[in-house]
Amino acid sequence: MTSEHHQLSTSALVEALQTGSVTSRQLTEQCLQRIEKFNPQLNAFVSVDASSALAQADAVDAKRSSGQTVGLLEGLPIGIKDNMCQVGITTTCGSRMLNNFKPPYDATVVEKINAADGVIVGKLNMDEFAMGSSTETSAAGVTRNPWNTEHSPGGSSGGSAAAVAAGLVPLALGSDTGGSIRQPASFCGVVGMKPTYGRVSRFGLVAFASSLDQIGPFAKDVFGATLLLQAIAGHDDRDSTSVNETVPDYMGSVNQPLAGLKVGIVDEHYRDGLNEEVNSAVRKAVANLEALGATVKTVALPHAKYSVATYYLIAPSEASSNLARYDGIHYGYRSESFDSSKHSLTDLYCLSRGEGFGPEVKRRIMLGTYALSAGYYDAYYLKALKVRRRIREDYDAAFADVDVIAGPVAPSAAFKLGEKMNDPLAMYLSDIYTISANLAGIPGISIPCGFTSSGLPIGIQLQAAAFQETAMLQAARMLEQSTTSTTAAAVAIPTEFA
């Protein structure tokens, strides 16, 4: 196998491991070398456990050489977003509040990766408590986009997207509450998928908004995303929202063309606010599917226009509740300036939370606390829940007519770092096309579909009905293979990191 592993597709890497042309240790060593070389420029990884990763790789190689069956992940190196618990490994959620937190247990997805013989290399940067769309709110510093380091990699899973895009690891996990996998995948020119809510266990995922959060895969291609989803999907009794539904054989069907594919497009997705280069690339990708035999028709999502307002009532309300535990006593950072002889218990709360949380987290806690407060609950939070139901009903009606809905992932390609930091509303609107999938609980995937004239990646989003990941992945794979340019974009490495 060529030593340039980062330029190979995921299926080529799997084949190389299976045939013995590369060992898991060699692959892991190459990833560690690339992290050491390029991470200072990108700040994608916040921590790396090289000794543990190499030990895991050696164990997989020993298993293979002794003739034992190796797990689905075959010894592939994987990065984990820094909001997923891993025994003894600092898990900060990009926040000063959890700067020294070392979990006493593994998240279910970590257990599943280990069981499938994946090699966990380290933890990846993120917006603080997953609240952000640019990976600029992290206490660990800004993550940069490999395609142009003056631009954002998206967020909140920007570290995961940047690491895969730059070839630091072939696979990574992120979490998606309102687009936090799909938007950075689009910005960084990789594949990123949000599964159906309840398809992947959230046990061990530090909560932001519990009814919206979902863990999902990043990869350089659809095959890789499918592989990692296959490994982590399934019911878990430790997560009360985990759905006890049989996991299909995603890997067995992903390469099968989907006959009679029906694709829906939403007119509102292509109106004011959508960058023209993004518009053109997405429409061309839809035309590629049509050329492959898909039927394209217009569908209506009349309540989608309320998704941002609905989301920014529900998500901050749940965040306000979830983050109440970080008070300087039970969990997290405790203010060093607290003096029990001078300060009250309320002072301890205020000092610890004021110093431990960053500005964006404070903003959302205040929004959520206000929406849940006496006199406002019915007017804001309860009304948002009713609109959320309407959004889900719109999707149900649309998916009665089509298999997938295709559209933009974000209104533009990656914006410059700092460009939206002082304008929260503009930042929130960068997730306008992704939020509704979280409110409805349906799966969505971002696939590269081109580049802007300045060389920044563009992604197209496919969405499907709940638990219809199989059809969505088949359509995504068809689209990925439909043109040379699209396929190249799916596995391309930025020149600076080639």
SS3 state at 346: helix
* Average per-residue pLDDT for the chain: 95
**What pLDDT is recorded for position 213?**
98
Between the alpha carbon of residue 30 and those of residues 22, 55, 395, 495, the distances in Å are 11, 15, 44, 18
SS3 state at 250: helix
Measured N-to-C along each axis, helices 469-481 and 222-232 cross at an angle, to the nearest 10 degrees, of: 160
**What pLDDT is recorded for position 332?**
86
Active site residue 180: yes
- How far apart CA 43 and CA 39 sit, in angstroms, is 5
Q: Which residue of the set 24, 95, 152, 156 is catalytic?
A: 156
Please say whether the beta carbons of 332 and 98 come within 8 A.
yes
Active site residue 11: no
| Nearest of 193, 121, 157 to residue 447 by alpha carbon | 193
Residues in the chain: 498
Q: Which residues pair with 192 in a beta bridge?
A: 218, 446
Q: Which of 38-47, 161-170, 423-432, 447-456 is the least confident region?
A: 423-432
Question: The dihedral of CA 89, 94, 98, 104: what is its sign?
Answer: negative
Confirm whether 400 is domain-assigned.
no
Residue 453: cis peptide before it, omega within 30 degrees of 0: no
**How big is the chain by its Cα radius of gyration, in Å?**
21
Give the mean pLDDT of 86-101.
96
Confirm whether 317 is domain-assigned.
no
Give the rounded distance of the alpha carbon of 488 from its chain centre: 22
**What pLDDT is recorded for position 1?**
44
Please say whether the beta carbons of 7 and 493 come within 8 A.
yes
**What pLDDT is recorded for position 492?**
76
Q: Which residues pair with 123 in a beta bridge?
A: 47, 80
Confirm whether 95 is domain-assigned.
yes
Is residue 4 pLDDT above 90, yes or no?
A: no
Q: Which residue of the set 9, 81, 186, 352 is catalytic?
A: 81
**What pLDDT is recorded for position 490?**
40
Share of the chain above pLDDT 90, in %: 88
CATH code of residue 183: 3.90.1300.10
In a 10 Å sphere around its CB, with 0-12 CB exposed, 13-18 middle and 19+ buried, how is residue 481 labelled?
A: middle
**What pLDDT is recorded for position 272?**
84
Q: What is the pLDDT of residues 356-379, one digit of tens each?
A: 999 999 999 999 999 999 889 999
Confirm whether 436 is domain-assigned.
no
Sheet holding 457-464, edge to edge: 45-48, 119-124, 77-81, 171-176, 214-219, 191-194, 444-451, 457-464, 404-408, 262-265, 295-298
Q: What is the pLDDT of residues 290-333, one digit of tens each?
A: 999 999 999 999 999 999 999 999 999 999 999 999 998 887 89
Q: What is the pLDDT of residues 13-45, one digit of tens each?
A: 999 999 999 999 999 999 999 999 999 999 999
How many helices, marked H, and strands, marked E, lie in the chain? Answer: 17, 11
Confirm whether 135 is domain-assigned.
yes
- How far apart CA 352 and CA 357 sit, in angstroms, is 8
Q: pLDDT class for 391, splitting at 50, 70, 90?
A: very high
**What pLDDT is recorded for position 483?**
62
| Nearest of 143, 156, 193, 114 to residue 39 by alpha carbon | 143
Angle at 110 between CA 74 and CA 114, to 5 degrees: 35
Which range of residues forms the domain containing residue 192? 5-264+488-497
Give the mean pLDDT of 225-243.
98
On the CB side of 272, CA atoms within 13 Å amount to 1
How many structural domains is the chain composed of? Answer: 1
Q: pLDDT class for 339, splitting at 50, 70, 90?
A: confident
Confirm whether 51 is domain-assigned.
yes
Q: Which residue of the set 95, 134, 157, 180 is catalytic?
A: 180
Please say whether the beta carbons of 42 and 162 come within 8 A.
yes
- DSSP per residue, 94-131: T-GGGTT---SS--HHHHHHHHTT-EEEEEE--SGGG-
Of all helices (H) and strands (E), which one includes residue 408?
strand 404-408
- How far apart CA 64 and CA 61 sit, in angstroms, is 5
Give the mean pLDDT of 186-208.
98
Active site residue 63: no
Confirm whether 126 is domain-assigned.
yes
Question: What would the two tokens of residue 422 be?
Answer: 């002082």
- How far apart CA 223 and CA 171 sit, in angstroms, is 11
Confirm whether 304 is domain-assigned.
no
Is residue 487 pLDDT above 70, yes or no?
A: no
